Structure 1
Amino acid sequence: MTVERSETDVTSVLQALNHISRGRMVMDWNEVTSGSNPYVVTKTSNIPGKSVIEIPGLIFGDKRKRVSRIGVGMTLTESMIELASALRLDVLVVHHPVAEAANSGGVPFADYLPLYGLSIIEMHEAFHGLHPGLTFLHGHRKLKTDTSFGGIPGNVLHKGVAFEEVRTAGDILNRIGEWMGREIDRDLLEAERAIRGESALEEATLSNPAKLLSGTPDSPVKHVLHFFPHTGFSLEHLESALAMYPETDTIIVSISRVREDHEFVKLARRRGLTFIVGNPHSVEIWENGLPLAYALEMLLPQTEVVLLRERMTAVPLRNIGHAKMVEYGKAIAETHLVSGVSRAVYI
């Protein structure tokens, strides 16, 4: 059955997002210049010219533009822009902050986005801490959340207690696998490997599974600290959090990863704590994107909402199965990029 949908506009989308975020969106540009909105923050590693200002609001487009189809995604890329064009989307709502050229194929937004009539809205820090989904998927009920732990915007720390049915570290690992549908991604990867003839093909979600780095599958779980290493969370922060919550028996990190020899893991082992690496960043489109998309659909039932999930794969050059493109790549490299250049430089 075909559903008749009427149109709304970009302003209505912003108003819906402002409702979802409890008033955190930039509705007037004066909020950016005056510093009155605490969710307008600068992210920088102090690399000249590479900082970005997060502005939870309309980044590009006309507030009066009519909207019938909305896309929800994580990180704006040229692939997402091209897919949005093919699907005739009117506005993209993306989680992560966007920057000229970096998120638009190396060119300014003004040269690219008008080709497809696309408006761009970003959220990021304005969306953090609004729902308990990430902790739910990792098996615990959050009791407290600090979205600026240590005074760093976006440095999120959850203090939680395990659900009644989650008694061990193994229960958490099993729960993550079941909720995230890893068997579907596994079947898809195996099919793609067979179709492409690339047995060494890897995919971001499956190559970064949940792992137990301290403790055993039978280690009991009750009091949980859950944080995200890429947000600026330091060893000092962890020690401070453990002092605040000495009952902690389990540490969960997710979205970003740490390895077996990381200082976080060493500290957990010294203190006899269980340490679990949960979901990777590649599934945040499910964790944060899906609830946001459904919320928009509920508030704007006259629009169609599309979830945009990018899938990242990798394959060694020697295993690429498309013979014609292998021929093309080698010929271009040899004839135009390497010929006449002394190879001794690279040996």
Structure 2
Amino acid sequence: MKAPKTRTEARHVVEALNTISKGRMVMDWNEITAGANPYVVMKTSNIPGKSVLEIPGLIFGDKHKPVSRIGVGMTLTESVIELASAMKLDLIIVHHPVADAASSGGVPFADYLPLYGLALIEMHEAFHGLHPGLTLLHGHHKLKTDICFGGIPGNVLHKGIALEEVKTTGDILARIDGLMGRDIDLDLLEAERAIRGEASLEEATLANPAQLLSGTPDSKVKHILHFFPHTGFSLEHLELALHMYPETDTIIVSISRVREDHVFVKYAKENGLNFIVGNPHSVEILENGLPLAYALEMLLPEVEIFLLRERITAVPLKEVGFQKMVEYGREMAGTHLVSGQPLAVQIN
């Protein structure tokens, strides 16, 4: 006689994530108020009412909810929620922190997620630094990682050494281009441009390629500092890191970007350092999402796992190709939004 099949519940998913994160998940809600979990972090720009408390755990849903289909994504949006609904998922796991309305189409989770029977888990800081994949994709072994550099939670700094096959900055750029499948995304974009008749259509991944902003493609690479500008990493942090690791010859920034005139680039040029802008935030679903999804599949083989990847495009308004929607948009604007108003605002 076969043993009855065990039922996977939302609590089992949290337990699996706690295993993956080496005990970083919130398993008891008291960890939030008592300050017992260092990965429960407030993020704020000091704009009234816009802060968010990161809580790596089950944010919404019954911990005993049966789960057979899970979606793993980066950021919760209404598009992700609607896709999860169409696919009849039971639970969504996202990397980034979630917030009522901001992450759910302008309405509270309690009004939206129950419509589709969705539970919700977030991770973020609890997932940082757990695997070396992001640094390996950028051509180096990480030797040391600080996920709270300068005392700022989430301000991650990797100290690495170039892989044996990586000799130059050009090798790093070629490695990133090949491993991330940019040729597939380019083929997809070209096809979409042709189908839609939108020649200037851009897509987030391709619009932000890896770039060399200081040094030449044949500049030698060995000792690398790798960080993420959007985490609060400052010039003072960079100076401190270079004081700690004076052998550094190459700086890599990724996930977030800096431009050619940024102070980091100027500093690198003044000090004879290579400076590479690596992968953009739009491919973190591959860098961090895929490892998390496969880890869950290994721990919960009875559950079906889906990767939720959003694809963001932009097109000049004058090139929007679907004529019926162009006519609709113009009718709504002209008849209802600016009716009786000057057709152009006079700017003095």
Same fold (TM over 0.5): yes
Structure 1 residue identity aligned to 2:177: G
Distance 1:261 1:180 in 2: 27
Paired position in structure 2 for 1:261 = 261
Paired position in structure 1 for 2:181 = 181
Question: Pairwise mapping of residues 291-302 of structure 1 onto structure 2 (< 5 A)?
Answer: 291-302=291-302
Q: Secondary structure at the match of 1:159?
A: strand
Distance 1:274 1:319 in 2: 39
Paired position in structure 2 for 1:81 = 81
Q: Secondary structure at the match of 2:219?
A: coil
Q: Secondary structure at the match of 2:172?
A: helix
Paired position in structure 2 for 1:339 = 339
Paired position in structure 2 for 1:18 = 18
User: Displacement of 1:7 after TM fit?
Assistant: 4.0
User: Residues 270-318 of structure 1: CA distance to partner in whole angstroms, max 9, x if unpaired?
Assistant: 0000000000000000000000000000000000000000000000001
Question: Pairwise mapping of residues 217-296 of structure 1 onto structure 2 (< 5 A)?
Answer: 217-296=217-296
Distance 2:318 2:14 in 1: 48
Distance 1:284 1:246 in 2: 29
Cα 1:94–1:346 change in 2 (3 A) is: farther
Paired position in structure 1 for 2:326 = 326
Q: List gaps (5 residues or longer) in structure 1.
A: none
Distance 1:282 1:6 in 2: 37
User: Residues 23-79 of structure 1: CA distance to partner in whole angstroms, max 9, x if unpaired?
Assistant: 000000000010000000000000000000000000000000000001000000000
Paired position in structure 1 for 2:59 = 59
Q: Secondary structure at the match of 1:8?
A: coil
Q: Secondary structure at the match of 2:277?
A: strand
Give identity over the alignment, percent: 78
User: Displacement of 1:6 after TM fit?
Assistant: 6.6
Structure 1 residue identity aligned to 2:63: K
Distance 2:330 2:88 in 1: 36
Distance 2:22 2:344 in 1: 61
Paired position in structure 1 for 2:8 = 8
* Contact 1:6 1:302 (8 Å CA) reproduced: no
Structure 2 residue identity aligned to 1:93: I
Paired position in structure 2 for 1:72 = 72
Paired position in structure 2 for 1:128 = 128
Q: Secondary structure at the match of 1:67?
A: coil
Cα 1:73–1:344 change in 2 (3 A) is: closer
* Contact 1:94 1:122 (8 Å CA) reproduced: yes
Q: Secondary structure at the match of 2:92?
A: strand
TM-score (normalised: structure 2):
0.97
Tell me the C-alpha RMSD between the 2 structures. Answer: 0.9
Q: List gaps (5 residues or longer) in structure 2.
A: none
User: Displacement of 1:345 after TM fit?
Assistant: 4.1
User: Displacement of 1:239 after TM fit?
Assistant: 0.5
User: Displacement of 1:156 after TM fit?
Assistant: 0.1
Distance 1:86 1:328 in 2: 26
Paired position in structure 2 for 1:137 = 137
User: Displacement of 1:340 after TM fit?
Assistant: 1.7
Q: Does 1:38 align with 2:42?
A: no
Distance 1:256 1:32 in 2: 29
User: Displacement of 1:110 after TM fit?
Assistant: 0.3
TM-score (normalised: structure 1):
0.98
Paired position in structure 1 for 2:205 = 205
Cα 1:259–1:325 change in 2 (3 A) is: same
User: Displacement of 1:114 after TM fit?
Assistant: 0.1
Paired position in structure 2 for 1:171 = 171
User: Residues 163-203 of structure 1: CA distance to partner in whole angstroms, max 9, x if unpaired?
Assistant: 00000000000000110000000000000000001000000
Distance 1:88 1:6 in 2: 21
Q: Secondary structure at the match of 1:75?
A: coil
Distance 2:132 2:292 in 1: 13
Structure 2 residue identity aligned to 1:58: L
Distance 1:331 1:42 in 2: 44
Distance 2:202 2:269 in 1: 31
Distance 2:257 2:133 in 1: 19
* Contact 1:140 1:162 (8 Å CA) reproduced: yes
